């Protein structure tokens, strides 16, 4: 059974930083990524990383966010710096099974940027 546990969300002031974590189990992962959904908006890709470590960062967060993975500990991270109110959203972890190509989603973690 696949389990994804996200953590690290919270409330920070503009210009602050947060690091999100996504711990996964029960799955052999190929690609992984972070997505976000703000109120009234569609879910959008924030950053993805392949099994080989190739990353793809959304233009809106490029230079501020970084995605990484620790395969030994089955964890993916999203380091978010210089946060703005426009980054406020629920952030979701997504993993793709290497064996079935099926997508799995975490429960989401709220990130709020507010002064």
State pLDDT tens for residues 39-55.
999 999 999 999 999 99
State pLDDT tens for residues 64-76: 999 999 989 999 9
Measure the CA–CA gap between 43 and 21, rounded to whole angstroms: 19
State pLDDT tens for residues 70-115: 989 999 999 999 999 999 999 999 999 999 999 999 999 999 999 9
Measure the CA–CA gap between 68 and 57, rounded to whole angstroms: 11
Measure the CA–CA gap between 5 and 66, rounded to whole angstroms: 19
Token pair 């959203």 in the structure block, residue: 89
Measure the CA–CA gap between 63 and 69, rounded to whole angstroms: 18
């Amino acid at each position: 059974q696949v389990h994804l546990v996200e953590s690290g969300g919270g409330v920070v002031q503009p210009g602050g930083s947060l690091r999100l974590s996504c711990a996964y189990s029960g799955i052999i992962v190929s690609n992984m990524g972070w997505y976000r959904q703000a109120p009234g908006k569609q879910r959008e890709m924030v950053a993805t990383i392949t099994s080989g470590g190739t990353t793809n960062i959304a233009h809106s967060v490029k230079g501020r966010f970084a995605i990484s993975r620790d395969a030994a500990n089955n964890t993916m991270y999203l380091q978010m710096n210089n946060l703005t109110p426009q980054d406020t959203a629920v952030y979701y972890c997504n993993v793709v099974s290497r064996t079935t190509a099926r997508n799995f989603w975490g429960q989401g973690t709220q990130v709020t940027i507010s002064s």
